[in-house]
Structure 1
């Protein structure tokens, strides 16, 4: 028994050491990808592709916008809208997805509406949102909320439906109640789907932001990019695009970290 345990530890040791090595390799590859992207961008700007600004021009414009506080103000305004819409959408999507997946009656009542609104782009709701809610923050947040909700609810629902029936039946044989099965079997098994849905919902929220800020916004990254479009200010547009991408990437990495912590029981490649 001691020998077997020692052997198991010896076999497991390389797997433990391999983790940091893979992280370093991934970081190096990410840096290489960024450098290659900047070189390609510089090359395209050098040959004069439709007035494309080069990275140094964009960096200089970013420094100007940071210096006068414009970029920080716009980024905080957009971040606030995305966070509120995303959190509200996720908080509603998770219980609705569980209801649809666990109760056949709830599924029959709710699924037609969910699938119907999934076929309608959230951007198409903007005119209706303006008429019903006015032109303040509410319609902007509502459109972002809708994008996040529709992405997350389907993933949560699918996670509940795809729970291995063998696990549920085994729990019932052992005398577990429906409440215990739901809390101890269904919720943990659905967690990876929920977190993936949250990541998709976050992407949808950021993707809807620019259009949402068409609604009489006075600040925000989308608003600033639309103003820059009127004056053909490509450098400002690139600053807005890069800022949205960086903020979205950072939030996605935080969700990915939470996913790894909450689902460390899963096998990963």
Structure 2
């Protein structure tokens, strides 16, 4: 009896992007090492990858500014989680109102757009005056950074729900208060999740600004302190940690998207 084994084509399709990403990282590291070796710029501007690795080991074991790298990162992630939790919740509620109620859209739509166009540093000083220099201004800053993208995405998604869905729900006996939560919100869910991904990205880019005021412990506070003393290797380490953790968070959100909206792209 002869057995024939077939290679799974999906395995090659999965391995190829991973190999391309790994190759791109290796090329980037090689170019970085080459630039550092030829000393186009002094090490204080462009340290070698090995120097950043040494700082990774040192900050993970001995710490920096009194806290380990993991402690800095976890504090920043906690701030992002709280700020985004409040911002996403408020953004969905506000977006539903803007999308469903024309009067609310007229009154609050321009205000949401106004806040969305402001850079975070524009109102950070005001938040510090109002709430002091502890945790409150940081959470409020991240809330204000994450709320507008979710509100805009939710409002546009709600306005794009087909009228036939609403009429069908009403003809089946859905009440006035059931339609937004049982028809409109599920139909708008794909765009809402996309807005949440954008909001989390905005909040993560804002965390360094949020932690410029009494931000230690915090990954942004660590980067700020290192910048003051020209410790470029620590600054680069902080940037890499922020980027990698941001990629992980976005991957988790994409996984949640596939679980909650399995029909996306299949219609």
Partners of 2:154 and 2:188 within 8 A in 1:
yes
Residue in 1 aligned with 2:32? 41
Q: Distance in 2 between matches of 1:166 and 1:22?
A: 40
Residue in 2 aligned with 1:194? 192
Provide the aligned C-alpha RMSD in A: 2.2
| Residue 61 of structure 1 pairs with residue 52 of structure 2 | no
* Superposition pairs of residues 113-124 of structure 1, within 5 angstroms: 113-124=111-122
Task: Report deviation, 1:172.
Answer: 4.5
- The range that moved more, 185-194 or 57-66, is 185-194
Residues 185, 233 of structure 1: alpha-carbon distance in 2 compared, 3 angstrom cutoff: same
| Residue 225 of structure 1 pairs with residue 223 of structure 2 | yes
Residue in 2 aligned with 1:13? none
- The range that moved more, 96-105 or 23-32, is 23-32
Task: Report deviation, 1:26.
Answer: 2.9
Task: Report deviation, 1:47.
Answer: 2.8
Residues 265, 19 of structure 1: alpha-carbon distance in 2 compared, 3 angstrom cutoff: farther
Residues 57, 144 of structure 1: alpha-carbon distance in 2 compared, 3 angstrom cutoff: same
* Residue aligned with 1:216, SS: coil
Task: Report deviation, 1:22.
Answer: 4.1
Q: Distance in 2 between matches of 1:129 and 1:113?
A: 18
Residue in 1 aligned with 2:202? 204
Q: Distance in 2 between matches of 1:36 and 1:142?
A: 40
Q: Distance in 2 between matches of 1:19 and 1:265?
A: 21
| Residue 31 of structure 1 pairs with residue 40 of structure 2 | no
Normalising by the residue count of structure 1, what TM-score does the alignment of the two structures yield?
0.86
5+ unaligned residues in a row in structure 2: which ranges? 1-7
Q: Distance in 1 between matches of 2:61 and 2:194?
A: 37
Partners of 2:115 and 2:144 within 8 A in 1:
no
Q: Distance in 1 between matches of 2:214 and 2:184?
A: 44
Residue in 1 aligned with 2:159? 161
CA deviation string 1:37-63 (max 9, x = no partner): 222222222233433112221111110
Task: Report deviation, 1:122.
Answer: 2.0
Normalising by the residue count of structure 2, what TM-score does the alignment of the two structures yield?
0.86
Q: Distance in 1 between matches of 2:147 and 2:92?
A: 9
Task: Report deviation, 1:166.
Answer: 3.9
Q: Distance in 1 between matches of 2:181 and 2:51?
A: 54
Residue in 1 aligned with 2:4? none
- The range that moved more, 31-40 or 144-153, is 31-40
Task: Report deviation, 1:94.
Answer: 0.8
Residue in 1 aligned with 2:72? 74
Task: Report deviation, 1:181.
Answer: 3.8
